[in-house]
Structure 1
Amino acid sequence: MITVIHLPVSYLPWTVGGKEIFTHSLAKAQASQVIEPTIAIHQDRNGTQSIGTHQYEGIPVEVMPSLMGTTTRRAVYGCLPDAAPGFEQLLQQKHPNIVHFQDFSVGANLLHMRAAKAAGCGIVLTYHSPGQVCTQRSLLYRGQSVCDGRLDEQRCTRCRLGVLGVPEWLVSGIGRIGSLGFPVDTKNRLGRAMTVRATVQLFQQAWEECISLVDRFTVHADWCAELLLTNGVPPEKLVMVRSGWHGTAAPVADQEGSRQSHGEPLRVAFVGRADPVKGLHVLIDAVRSLPQSLPIEVGFFGPYWSEAYGVGLARQVRGDGRFQTPEQLAPTDLMQRLAAYDVCVVPSLWLETGPLVVLEAFAAGLPVVGSRLGGIAELVSDGQDGLLFEPGNAAELATCLRHLADEPALLERLRSGIRQPRTMADVAREMADLYRELIDEGTQTA
């Protein structure tokens, strides 16, 4: 029996996102493959979760006391809080073979890695989001254009200063002259700008230690592998484990669903959180640019519509009958709902690593219209099982949707090109092989 502790920082049902769904689905698949998984998170600062042992759909979840000292810039950029209460005790209680990090941040940090290493555990880190190797947590240079992700002290400093609103003509000077004696944790606005370079250095140092402590980095996409190699991860530590959809039964694509026919509206689904990097506004702009006479309906499935970005979008589409009221569904319910749609749009502006939504769409028999970017472009074959468009280009997206609405034969051709996606059971088997490899290596070096 292999025992593994997963550290995702946040978890279901308290937080719903791709990382949380991946971790939960992986743990469920592992539990059916003679692996004993435990999810471990720290209580958030609001005390949302009660400390102690829980279960979510049969998976044990340990909620440890809140991390201490997580709000300072030194802790955030250095991925090093003051203390991680309860984690060493959990290691002593569970004696895990593997500690599997589903994030690297102040929430799943160097203290956890050091303790796991001291306990003799194998350490795996799955690279889930672009931000794991970015001080901005988005891999968008100055918050706008996609970055190649190379950690560079000068460039990362310029990026951070730009996002802070420092004028371009001042950026180079501030980046060169140093902190002028301001402490990294200053709350003074000028001091924060002057110490940006110091925070970038902290982040780089944190990644260097992370690389030394982690035994294997698993990635879902080729671009992630290239990024980690660029930033110093040894090739022998990299393992490609592409993501899988979370279903266990035959894909919903095998079931009969309602599909577009001549004269009926094109039913478009968006699945994901209401966040600027997900490009929801691009989809809305594209649909609003189409003539009202073009039959099209858009359904939104995901959280955070009560946040400022989502509220603003809801205001834009109010009164437009083409847009449905956003819903948040359980993953199993979502798959059934998707089966009634014609196409899934994934208009992300940042580099997706999986992404799970593409696999969910394919499992439901939906072609994907997505950004020609990152993991989306690696999973979607343009013209075969979906259509790709330039990221952020609402006009090009509108053209794709018009073609699909006007040409039912195109939609049917794309549907017929969809292949059954791999499942989380496939992912769990590959992870089990990796775990055994690390256990064998540990036995040999003991």
Structure 2
Amino acid sequence: MRILLTVHHFPPRYSAGAELYTMRLARELLRRGCEVEVVCVETLDPDQAFGLRAERDRYEGIPVWRLHLGLRDAPAHWSYANPAIEAWLSERMRVWQPDIMHLHSGYLIGVGALTAAREQGIISVVTLHDYWFLCPRITLLRGDGSLCHQPPADLAECAWCLQLDQRRYRLPEQISGGLAGKAWIALAGHAGRAALRERRETLRQALSQADLVISPSHFLASLFSDLLAPEQLRVLRIGIDHSRLSSIRPVQAGPILRLGYIGQIAPHKGIHLLIMALKSLPRGEPTVELTIFGNTGQHPTYTRHLRQLIGDNPHIHLAGKFSHDQLPEVLSKVDVVVVPSLWYENSPLSILEAHAAGRPVITARLGGMAELVRDNVDGLHFTPNDRRDLARQLQRLRSEKGLLERLQQGIQPPPSIDDEMKMLIQHYTALLERRASIRGQSQ
């Protein structure tokens, strides 16, 4: 079986959830005898004329095509329907002839992957890692940091949300209590409304033509249930390599409670919330320490903000970037993993990996996070974006005797990577058999 995996970015330069998942998927497919190629966007150059340059690479045994995009004089819709990427993918599919094109997220690669596959008669599969097909901000987080509970009917509201990234719009909105946005929508919203309507229609049409859409969580699947036929949409849980994590020693109550944040260092991940919650705890025993593991260079402004929040606190540490091979060592250094995200996380690997290592998780009562963590069973929930409620749960771990051990005992191992791959390959095989049957009937 020949599989073309398309994703916005890929390691080693990028290491967020979708990138790491795609790398792991490529490895597992290769290990099972499939032929695999990965296509990703490596660089964006606003000064280079619109177009792309493809660079062939091999990363940890995985064949990778890295696309370098020039964006000078790019069409307005380049971020979701890039004709240069579509043309390159169409040619690559014609030459390599994959059996299946598997798109991850859609961001940057765009709908051209689906369009090219359809034109070449190649089966297309999409795994939803975020809300790119629904939200131009990808996260369903508004520009003012609040959650968007559902995409608004009036797309001018989405256009105003995008404007809030800029301080000159955000401040008037805050000062006026929302009146600035209403005025902008009434006076200037028509242009943004038209552009986003085109985006929405283009993305929904492309997604509706995918042969299979996979969601790692029921929460994310529920947001797409009205856009897809029931037979198109499947929930497939992410599996974990238990062999790397199951041997980590169990946690034991002691004089220090070791908290860990593991993942991307970015504003929507809510790390600032965790720091403020920890700093608000009263003095007492056990001492609570927090180690933040992640790439501090990806969002330098936010990292500077975190350093200012930490100040001279000796119990909070920015450990920096680590390789995925070091994950067992990282998890062995913490008793509890905290996932304080402000947005609707889909199916965080950090939660699954923590549970595979026998580590309870404290997380926001939100989206796929709440789905993976059972409150008071294998972890604790706190009210989203509420540092006081997060501090309350941290204090419970300090003061309630036996709580940490009880939460650890309540952990059920997440699905294994073999379980996931078995189901995925069954889906691949069923799609190929159905395609062969249709072709046989038409002859």
Note whether the superposition's TM-score is higher than 0.5. yes
Q: Percent identity?
A: 26
**Residues 1:24 and 2:23 aligned together:** yes
Aligned length: 422
Corresponding residue number in structure 1 for 2:32: 33
Quote the residue 2:5 is aligned against: 6
Change (3 A) 1:43 1:313: closer
> Residue 206 of structure 1 aligns to a residue in which SS?
helix
Q: Is the 2:53–2:69 Cα contact (8 Å) retained in structure 1? A: no
Change (3 A) 1:51 1:114: closer
Structure 2 letter corresponding to 1:86: W
TM-score (norm 2): 0.88
Alpha-carbon distance, 1:373 to partner: 0.5
**1:292 offset after TM fit, Å?**
4.0
Residue number in structure 2 paired with 1:114:
115
Map of 1:423-434 to 2, 5 A cutoff? 423-434=416-427
Distance 2:310 2:78 in 1: 40
Q: Which runs of 5+ in 2 are unaligned?
A: none
Query: Conserved in 1, the CA contact under 8 Å of 2:111 and 2:203?
Result: no
Task: Provide TM-score, normalisation by structure 1.
Answer: 0.87
1:284 aligns with 2:275: yes
**Letter aligned with residue 238 of structure 2:** S
Question: Are positions 1:53 and 2:56 aligned together?
Answer: yes
Report the counterpart of residue 104 of structure 1 in structure 2.
Answer: 106
Amino acid at match of 1:234: A
Amino acid at match of 2:7: P
Distance 2:272 2:6 in 1: 32
Q: Which residue of 1 aligns with 2:332?
A: 339
Q: Is 1:217 matched with 2:213?
A: yes
More strand by share: 2
Find the aligned partners of 1:21 and 1:327 in 2 and give their Cα distance. Answer: 17
Instruction: After superposition, give the CA deviation of every residue in 1:380-437 in whole Å (9 maximum; x if it has no partner).
Output: 0111110010011111111211121234511011111111111333222211111112
Give 1:194 shift.
5.5
| AA at the equivalent of 1:321 | P
2:319 alignment counterpart: 326
Secondary structure of residue in 1 paired with 2:44: coil
Q: Equivalent residue for 1:127? A: 128
* 2:95 matched residue in structure 1: 93
Matched, 1:422 2:415: yes
Displacement after TM superposition at 1:124 (Å)? 0.8
Residue-by-residue CA offset, 1:40-74 (whole Å, 9 max, x unaligned): 12441259x99433222222112245366685543
Select which of 364, 386, 394 maps to 1:401.
Answer: 394
Deviations 1:18-37 (A, max 9, x none): 11111111111122223222
CA distance 1:146–1:65, change in 2 (3 Å): closer
Q: Does the 8 Å CA contact 2:41/2:66 hold for their aligned counterparts? A: yes
Whether contact under 8 Å (1:123, 1:214) holds in the other structure is yes
CA contact (8 A) 2:242 2:356 kept: no
Question: Would you say the 8 A contact 1:268–1:298 is kept in 2?
Answer: yes
Equivalent residue runs for 1:253-268 within 5 Å: 254-256=247-249, 259-262=251-254, 264-268=255-259
AA aligned opposite 1:388: H
Residue pair 2:337, 2:359 contacting (<8 A) in 1 also: yes
- The answer to whether the Cα contact below 8 Å between 2:133 and 2:204 also exists between their aligned partners in 1 is no
Alpha-carbon distance in structure 1 between the residues aligned to 2:269 and 2:126? 24
**Structure 1 segment 18-417 matched on structure 2, within 5 A:** 18-46=17-45, 51-66=54-69, 72-76=75-79, 79-84=80-85, 86-105=88-107, 107-150=108-151, 152-154=153-155, 155-157=157-159, 159-160=161-162, 165=169, 167=173, 168-176=178-186, 195-230=191-226, 232-245=227-240, 247=241, 249=243, 251-252=245-246, 254-256=247-249, 259-262=251-254, 264-294=255-285, 295-305=287-297, 307-407=300-400, 409-417=402-410
Question: Aligned-pair distance for 1:321?
Answer: 0.5
Partner SS state of residue 38, structure 1: strand
Alignment partner of 2:319: what SS?
coil
d(CA) in 1 for partners of 2:81, 2:184: 26
- Cα distance in 2 for partners of 1:244, 1:223 equals 17
Number of the residue aligned with 1:190: none
Q: Counterpart in 1 of 2:434?
A: 441
Where 2:66 maps in the other structure, the secondary structure is strand
> CA-atom RMSD, angstroms?
2.4
Amino acid at match of 1:45: L
**CA distance 1:91–1:248, change in 2 (3 Å):** farther
User: How many Å separate the matches in 2 of 1:312 and 1:173?
Assistant: 32
| Structure 1 residue 117 displacement after superposition | 0.9
Shift of 1:137: 1.9
Cα separation, 2, equivalents of 1:292 and 1:64: 52
8 A Cα contact 2:43 2:67, kept in partner: no
- Larger RCO, structure (CA 8 Å, separation 6 or more): 1
State the Cα distance separating 1:138 from its structure 2 match.
Answer: 1.8
Q: Runs of 5+ in structure 1 lacking a partner? A: 179-192
SS at match of 2:318: coil
AA in 2 matched with 1:239: R
Would you say the 8 A contact 1:68–1:83 is kept in 2?
Answer: no
Q: CA deviation at 1:92?
A: 2.4
Give the aligned residue type for 2:110.
N
Tell me, in whole angstroms, the C-alpha distance in 1 between the residues paired with 2:66 and 2:24.
19
CA distance in 1, matches of 2:41, 2:267: 27
The SS at the match of 1:45 is strand
- Are residues 153 and 438 of structure 1, via their aligned partners in 2, closer, same or farther at CA, if it must alter by over 3 Å? farther
Contact 1:134 1:151 in 2 (8 A): no
Whether the 8 Å CA contact 1:148–1:227 is kept in 2: the answer is no
